Amino acid sequence: MTATDLRIRPYPLPRSLDVPEARPFLAASNLSNLIEREIWDHDDHCVAARTRFESFRPNGYEDRTIFLACENDEVVGKAVADVPLTDNLQTCYAEVIVHPERRRRGIGSALYAAVEEQARTRGRSVVMGWADHRTGFDTAGGVLTPATGAGSFPAASLPAAFAAAQGFSLAQVERCSVLPVGWDPHRLAVLGAEAARAAGPDYALVNWVDRCPDEVLEQYAYLRQKMSTDVPVGELDWEEESWDGARVREGEERLARGGGSSLVRAVLHRPSGQLVGHTILQRRAEKPGIVYQEDTLVLSDHRGHRLGMWLKVANLLDVVVVWPEAERIYTWNAEENRHMLDVNIELGFTPAGYTAAWQKKLEAA
């Protein structure tokens, strides 16, 4: 089979997963989970079809186009072109996957061509994509290192070879780390107490589950906005995102529709009455044992007081109370973000894998 034997088509999201038109979506979701198992050798990062469906529903902040590669009505590949609508208007985020038994036949290239055409049609000049690899990779084929010099990714891996063939460069490497929930609570409490003393009386912690209180909604939105650029972004051509209370609420509602839940800790600067840092943990109902550490941010003017450690410890100690089924926590950090990596190591996180961020700047047609 060659790429010319394929049928590559945009796939409109069905109105629900309970209609016949949803069968390709279900097949594509199963394919995504197959790839996750192949990468990680476990199913911790597999996602239920209904959760994935909710994440693809239209909203005012991004527009996603799904492309399917089909052979005799069998879904053998999938691509997604994700176009942000309120910021980073030069950018298209791309995902391309192909069934392991159908690789090296041009399917991935055909799918990516559809994504790039969509990016150009939408006036985008930069395409970004991400690919994972678990730890312990073979370095015999060499490694790729981003311009920052931080981190590496196996040059002979399938994602690296595909990215190079499509004209992408390695812009950043992130480390995926994991922490089993069976930690020593006394040790965590000591770390938290030390961080609280370093913070001093000008700071206090506040927290919520699932829904940000109305009275701090816009302050929290500002923290989410600063998170987009106040952490290292490597060589990625990334602009600050645009956040307000409405965007926070949309994200909360989307997470809830997909059966997800969030545990948020924020730090209040008493003299100003402003939130100056936050950390987020999330989990999905279909995998109650798996928790994801999302944002952790302290505004630059308030760094140096151990606020990040204080936030993270307080949230971790709450996990076993709010989510008693939790078994392990995953987090991703840029390899150049030495400070946050050191905090996570002190908390007990260990490397589980690496994520390569790829970027391609499109030439004008």
- Per-residue pLDDT reduced to its tens digit, 173-222: 999 999 999 999 999 999 999 999 999 999 999 999 999 999 999 999 99
Distance CA 228, CA 343 (A): 20
Q: For residue 253, what are the CA distances in angstroms to 55, 59, 260, 309, 349?
A: 11, 11, 9, 28, 30
Beta bridge partners of 173: 356
Q: In whole angstroms, what is the distance from residue 279 CA to residue 302 CA?
A: 15
Burial label for 103, CB within 10 Å (0-12, 13-18, 19+), is: middle
| Residues 221 and 248: beta-carbon distance below 8 Å | yes
What is the pLDDT at residue 364? 73
72-75 contact pairs (CB < 8 A, 24+): 74/27, 75/24, 75/27, 75/28, 75/31
Query: Cβ atoms within 10 A of the Cβ of 259, count?
Result: 16
Res 230: pLDDT: 87
How far is Cα 283 from Cα 264, in angstroms, rounded to an integer?
12
- Yes or no: say if 243 and 44 are a contact pair by the CB < 8 Å rule: no
- Residue 262's pLDDT is 98
Hey, what amino acid is at 60?
G
Q: Which residues pair with 58 in a beta bridge?
A: none
Q: Are 17 and 76 in contact (CB under 8 A)?
A: no
CA separation for the pair 292, 109 (Å, rounded) = 32
Residue 365's pLDDT is: 58
Q: Extract the tokens encoding 200.
A: 């001093």
| Per-residue tens of pLDDT for the chain, all 365 residues | 444 477 999 999 999 999 999 999 999 999 999 999 999 999 999 999 999 999 999 999 999 999 999 998 899 999 999 999 999 999 999 999 999 999 999 999 999 999 999 999 999 999 999 999 999 988 888 999 999 999 999 999 999 999 999 999 999 999 999 999 999 999 999 999 999 999 999 999 999 999 999 999 999 999 999 999 888 999 999 999 999 999 999 999 999 999 999 999 999 999 999 999 999 999 999 999 999 999 999 999 999 999 999 999 999 999 999 999 999 999 999 999 999 999 999 999 999 999 999 999 998 75
358: nearest Cα among 160, 165, 177, 176: 160
